[in-house]
Amino acid sequence: MAKIPGFFSLKHFLVLSLALNVSLVLRVVFDTENLGLHFSGFVLQKKQRTVLSTPSSSASSSSASVAEVEDGGEEVVNLDHGDPTMYESYWQIMGEKTTIVIPGWQSISYFSDIRSTCWFLEPEFAKQVVRLHKVVGNAETEGHHIVVGTGSSQLYLAALYALSSKEAAEPMSVVSAAPYYSSYPLMTDYQKSGLHKWAGEARSFNKPGPFVELITSPNNPDGFVRHSIVNQTGGALIHDLAYYWPQYTPITSPADNDLTLFTVSKSTGHAGMRIGWALVKDLEVAKRMTKFIELSTIGVSKDSQLRAAKVLEAVADSCEQAGSSEFSESFFEVSYRLMTERWQHLRDAVNTSGRFGLPEFTPAFCHFHGHNLQPQPAFAWLRCLNGVEDCESFLRGFNILTRGGKHFGASPEYVRSYPVMADHQNSGFHKWNGERRSFNRRGHILSRSSPQTTRTDAVQCLQKHRTCRDVHWIATIGVSEDLLLQVAIVLEAIADSFKPARSTEFSEPFFGSARNER
Q: What are the φ/ψ torsions at residue 512 (nearest 5 degrees)?
A: -65, -40
The answer to whether 258 touches 236, Cβ cutoff 8 Å, is yes
Query: What mean pLDDT comes out for the span 82-95?
Result: 87
At residue 357, does pLDDT exceed 50?
yes
The string of DSSP letters for 62-75 reads: SS---SEE-TTS-E
pLDDT in tens, 217-239: 999 999 999 999 999 999 999 99
Comparing CA positions, the residue from 423, 477, 486, 424 lying closest to residue 456 is 486
| Res. 478 pLDDT band, cuts 50 70 90 | low
pLDDT in tens, 408-447: 999 999 999 887 666 543 333 222 122 222 223 233 333 4
**Single-letter code of the amino acid located at 443:** G
pLDDT in tens, 254-295: 999 999 999 999 999 998 899 999 999 999 999 999 999 999
At residue 250, does pLDDT exceed 80?
yes
- Which residues touch 151 (CB under 8 Å, ≥6 apart)? 263, 265, 274, 275, 276, 476, 477, 478
Query: β-strands 235-240, 276-280: how paired?
Result: unpaired
| Res. 56 pLDDT band, cuts 50 70 90 | very low
Alpha helices in 388-476 (DSSP H): 391-396, 457-463, 466-476
Comparing CA positions, the residue from 263, 262, 259 lying closest to residue 235 is 259
Average pLDDT of the residues of the chain:
77
pTM: 0.75
pLDDT in tens, 100-152: 888 888 889 999 999 999 999 999 999 999 999 999 999 999 999 999 999 89
Which of 254-263, 309-318, 493-502 comes out lowest in average pLDDT? 493-502
